[in-house]
């Protein structure tokens, strides 16, 4: 039973380890959990599509250590992230913030999608209207048309 | 509605996308604009490397226009730009301060400088990226132009070539000296 529990614990540990080295891990599990959460949102500047939590790059390691040191010294999660952003810019955040320079990024897809839906609705409305128009009674004849029709009918009856 | 307009739509769409890519694909995705331009150089204080008795700190960057160069003995591109830095030292062009970044062995930096020459006025030892992160460094070499008030005015990522020096750094330094 003990062995089974150990194996289970080890396998779980393996899943959540990322690139964090044993010597970096904090003794306080709460702080360590916060550090992991922060690290997952920070971009590794060397291998740009990995978080520093995933990356084996030296700079990512130093950033992980820095995040932990700041947490230990009493920084809030926001303060730690703000410090790294103040050095590297918003680019370091894997999830871009919602602000004036990123409105196009966040709202663009919804806007373009919305325009597409509007265009589609307009298109189908017009098509159904056109189809309904065929079946509905044609507009009454004008005086001119009536006279022409009478002439034609007269010609034939003769 | 003018139906002829509909035939032009795909063409307009193509032109928009093409111009977007024409700009986007010619930009280097690894070249990041630094957010530190025109902000005071960060607080830092680094120990000296072996063989020197003075390190490098924030205060050393005030009083004179200077370059801050991130280098390391492990960094091949640093060797490429090294002869130019030596040349600048010989000409007394501008004080160059070095940040010796992430040496595995503290002897590595001094050995490298003994072998290729030492162009640096002051050097700080930065084994765990303290100053490098404070400067928003993403790789070596990187070179910052710092004005006499200690404000970062320019960052060049990568090798400082003769062209970079002649066309960007030298004119900027001269302008900053006049201010």
Which 3 state secondary structure label does DSSP give A80? helix
Residues of A in contact with B34 (CB under 8 A): 89
What number is the average pLDDT over the span B14-19? Answer: 94
φ/ψ of B82, rounded to 5, equals: -55, -45
CB atoms within 10 A of CB B138: 22
Q: Does B42 touch chain A (CB under 8 A)?
A: yes
Where do the domains of chain B lie, and which CATH numbers do they carry? 33-178 (3.40.30.10)
Interface size between A and B, measured as CB pairs under 8 A = 44
Could you give the angle at the alpha carbon of B118 between the alpha carbons of B117 and B119, nearest 5°?
A: 115
Which of A89, A90, A99, A101 is the best mutation test for B, with the most CBs of B within 10 A? A89
Say which residues have a Cβ less than 8 Å from residue B134's Cβ, sequence separation at least 6.
A87, B42, B43, B44
Buried b or exposed e, range A2-38, using 16+ CB within 10 angstroms: eeeeeeeeeeeeeeeebbbeeeeebeeeeebebbbeb
* Contact call for B138 and A59, based on CB within 8 A: yes
CATH match of A14-97 with 1.10.8.640:
yes
Residues of A in contact with B36 (CB under 8 A): 87
Name the residue among B102, B128, B136 with its Cβ closest to that of A88. B136
ipTM of this complex: 0.83
Cβ contact B139:B156 at 8 Å:
no
pLDDT digits (tens, 9 = 90+) for A64-103: 999 999 999 999 999 999 999 999 999 899 998 888 888 9
Q: Find where tokens 């007394």 sit.
A: B92
Q: CA neighbours within 13 Å on the CB side: how many for A45?
A: 28
pLDDT digits (tens, 9 = 90+) for A40-65: 999 998 888 899 999 999 999 999 99
pLDDT recorded at residue A1: 65
Q: DSSP letter at A104?
A: H
CATH 1.10.8.640 domain residues, chain A: 14-97
Residues of A in contact with B35 (CB under 8 A): 86-89
Chain A residues within 8 angstroms (CB to CB) of chain B: 45-46, 48, 58-59, 62-63, 65-66, 84, 86-89, 91
As separate numbers, helices (DSSP H) first and strands (DSSP E) second, chain B gives 6, 7
pLDDT band of residue A158 (cuts 50, 70, 90) is low
Q: DSSP letter at A27?
A: S
């Amino acid at each position: 039973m003990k062995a089974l529990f150990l194996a289970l614990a080890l396998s779980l540990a393996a899943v959540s380890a990322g690139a964090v080295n044993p010597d970096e891990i904090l003794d306080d599990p709460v702080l360590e959990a916060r550090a992991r959460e922060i690290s997952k949102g920070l971009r590794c500047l060397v291998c740009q599509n990995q978080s520093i939590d995933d990356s084996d790059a030296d700079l990512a390691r130093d950033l992980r250590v820095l995040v932990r040191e700041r947490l230990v010294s009493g920084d809030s999660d926001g303060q730690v992230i703000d410090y790294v952003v103040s050095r590297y810019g918003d680019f370091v955040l894997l999830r871009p913030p919602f602000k004036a320079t990123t409105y196009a990024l966040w709202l663009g897809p919804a806007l373009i999608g919305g325009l597409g839906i509007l265009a589609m609705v307009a298109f189908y409305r017009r098509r159904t209207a056109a189809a309904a128009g065929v079946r509905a009674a044609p507009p009454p004849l004008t005086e001119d048309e009536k006279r022409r029709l009478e002439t034609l009918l007269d010609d034939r009856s003769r | 509605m003018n139906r002829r307009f509909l035939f032009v739509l795909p063409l307009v769409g193509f032109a928009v996308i093409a111009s977007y890519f024409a700009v986007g694909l010619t930009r280097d995705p690894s070249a990041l604009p630094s957010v530190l331009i025109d902000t005071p150089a960060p607080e830092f204080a680094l120990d000296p490397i072996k063989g020197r008795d003075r390190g490098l700190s924030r205060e050393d960057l005030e009083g004179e226009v200077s370059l801050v160069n991130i280098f390391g003995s492990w960094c091949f591109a640093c060797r490429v730009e090294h002869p130019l830095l030596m040349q600048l030292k010989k000409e007394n062009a501008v004080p160059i301060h070095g940040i010796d970044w992430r040496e595995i062995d503290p002897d590595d930096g001094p050995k490298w400088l003994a072998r290729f020459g030492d162009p640096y006025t002051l050097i700080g030892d930065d084994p765990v990226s303290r100053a490098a992160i404070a400067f928003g460094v993403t790789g070596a070499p990187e070179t910052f132009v710092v004005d006499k008030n200690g404000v970062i005015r320019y960052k060049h990522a990568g090798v400082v070539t003769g062209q970079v020096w002649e066309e960007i750094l030298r004119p900027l330094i001269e302008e900053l000296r006049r201010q």
